[in-house]
Amino acid sequence: MAVNPDPIEILINRHLGLLDDLYLLRTTIDRLMKKISPHLVEGLKREYLSFLKIMEQHMRCEEEVLFPVLKSSLGSKGAPIISMSGDHTNLKEGIEKLHTIITDMETEDTEECRKAINLADEEIDSLINLFSRHIDKEEKCLFKLAREILVENELEAIEKKMKEIEKEGEGF
């Protein structure tokens, strides 16, 4: 049952967009594996920074807004939130590894660049896999639960706080 407002739907749509962004990064890395180009490296860095900004906003919306409201409603039955928080920690670690690899990537030394591209290739695959599994769990378990237990005024408050977080990001 769709509720108006529906912050859960906003989060689901954000999942799809972020997964698309990861696949876009994957495509650029694939192109770099075939041919090293300063233009492609700079494009990869820009794509990554755009992804990072949106992912950070998304995680803040979940961790600072949705999770606390759910935790309050669930009380001692908050295991799904603990699991999702653990996933977020793992995702942040993978994102940080990829961040370091991509931001340090330079084309002057072809051999070093190739090593960095190979590392980015491994890390992006790992991140796509982890994020895909996380999305599946979150949408089938946590979001389903949220729709069952949260009432309209809680959903309105969640959506309002999420919009505030998004507005903060517009100042970047």
1 within a domain of the structure (yes/no): no
pTM of the predicted protein model: 0.91
* Nearest to 70, CA basis, from 114, 126, 24, 7: 7
Give domain status of residue 2, yes or no.
no
Count of domains for the chain: 1
For residue 59, the domain's CATH number is: 1.20.120.520
Rounded Cα gap, residues 109 and 19, in angstroms: 31
Say if 54 falls within a structural domain: yes
Which of 84, 82, 71 shows the shortest CA–CA distance to 154? 71
21 assigned to some structural domain: yes
Sign of the Cα torsion 100, 54, 165, 69 reads negative
In a domain, 23, yes or no: yes
Q: How many CB atoms lie within 10 A of CB 105?
A: 21
Closest by alpha carbon to 20, among 2, 138, 123, 28?
28
* Domain containing residue 111: 7-170
CA 26 to chain centre: 15
Residue 63: inside a domain: yes
Dihedral pair phi/psi, residue 105, rounded to 5°: -70, 125
Structure confidence at residue 79 (pLDDT): 83
- Each of the 172 residues of the chain gets a pLDDT tens digit; together they read 444 668 999 999 999 999 999 999 999 999 999 999 999 999 999 999 999 999 999 999 999 999 999 998 887 777 889 899 999 999 999 999 999 999 999 999 999 999 999 999 999 999 999 999 999 999 999 999 999 999 999 999 999 999 999 888 775 4
